[in-house]
Amino acid sequence: MGERAASTLVIACGALAHEIVALQRLNDWQHLEVTCLPAELHNRPEKIPAAVREKIRQHKERHASIFVAYADCGTGGQLDAVLAEDGIQRIPGAHCYEFFAGSAAFAALADAEPGTFYLTDFLAWHFERLILQGLGLDRHPELLPLYFGNYRRLVYLSQLDPAPRMAEAQAAAARLGLEFEHRATGYGELQHSLQRAGEGVVFWQN
């Protein structure tokens, strides 16, 4: 068995790749390595736990620690069950929207309008591919009420300057027939969690 590298591996959702790499460069986290799973798993959350387990098995012998940059993301606790096998931690929260917005702000948004659909910078930019094509709405627009009939509002949670993505987010709301709202969140809990990993806090080790 080879010697482990003195590094922390971050297993991340592909929808967070841009933000994680930006934070890695900004903070000079040289011993933080990142591997991503496809962002399309957003639409198939039941597949996330097995995909994360496979990544852990592939990489854990080569890294001093592992951190998972996912929230529960609709897995109903199954992701936590996988991570408990090796004592690995993840970003807290139910969804990436919660850790970007902050738990208190996200709870307030959900309480004010439970029928809220959320976009991040990544999802605003890739709305056509991940949402419309991913759910088959480009081919079967008649399914729109089935998927979004219970939604009333779209909230765009922006991480960076919202100007480049604002038009896409507003167009997404119009396409879904939802009221539009914008909240600037920055990196939220993602930055804090990666800060701990980047400073060498061990989230997992044999």
SS3 annotation, the chain: CCCCEEEEEEEEEHHHHHHHHHHHHHHCCCCEEEEEECHHHHHCHHHHHHHHHHHHHHHHHHEEEEEEECCCCCCCCHHHHHHHCCCCEECCCCCHHHHHHCHHHHHHHHHHCCCEEEECHHHHHCHHHHHHHCCCCCCCHHHHHHHHCCCCEEEEEECCCCHHHHHHHHHHHHHHCCEEEEEECCCHHHHHHHHHHHCCCCCCCC
Model's pTM, two decimal places? 0.81
Q: What is the pLDDT of residue 92?
A: 87
Q: Which domain holds residue 175?
A: 103-184
pLDDT of residue 156: 97
State the pLDDT at residue 6.
Answer: 54
Residues 62, 50, single domain; the answer is yes
Q: Are 185 and 101 in contact (CB under 8 A)?
A: yes
Does residue 40 lie in a domain region? yes
Output the average pLDDT for the chain.
89
Among candidate residues 134, 144, 72, the one with its CA nearest the CA of residue 103: 72
- 128 and 172 assigned to the same domain: yes
Domain co-membership, 68 together with 45: yes
168, amino acid identity: E
Residues 107 and 127 in one domain: yes
**Residues 107 and 167 placed together within one structural domain of the fold:** yes
Is residue 204 pLDDT above 50, yes or no? Answer: no
Q: Are residues 128 and 79 in the same domain?
A: no
Residue-wise pLDDT tens digits, 28-66: 888 888 999 999 998 899 999 999 999 999 998 888 889
Share of the chain above pLDDT 90, in %: 66
If pLDDT is split at 50, 70 and 90, which confidence band does 1 have? Answer: very low
For residues 115 and 171, state if they share a domain. Answer: yes
Domain count, the chain: 2
Whether 203 maps to a domain, the answer reads no
Q: Among 95-99, 107-111, 153-157, where is mean pLDDT lowest?
A: 95-99
> 67: domain CATH number?
3.40.50
Q: Is 86 contained in some domain? A: yes
For residues 46 and 147, state if they share a domain: no
For the stretch 141-177, pLDDT in tens is 999 999 999 999 999 999 989 999 999 999 999 999 9
| Shared-domain flag, residues 19 and 89 | yes
- Same-domain pairing of 28 and 14: yes
Query: Does residue 205 lie within any of the structural domains?
Result: no
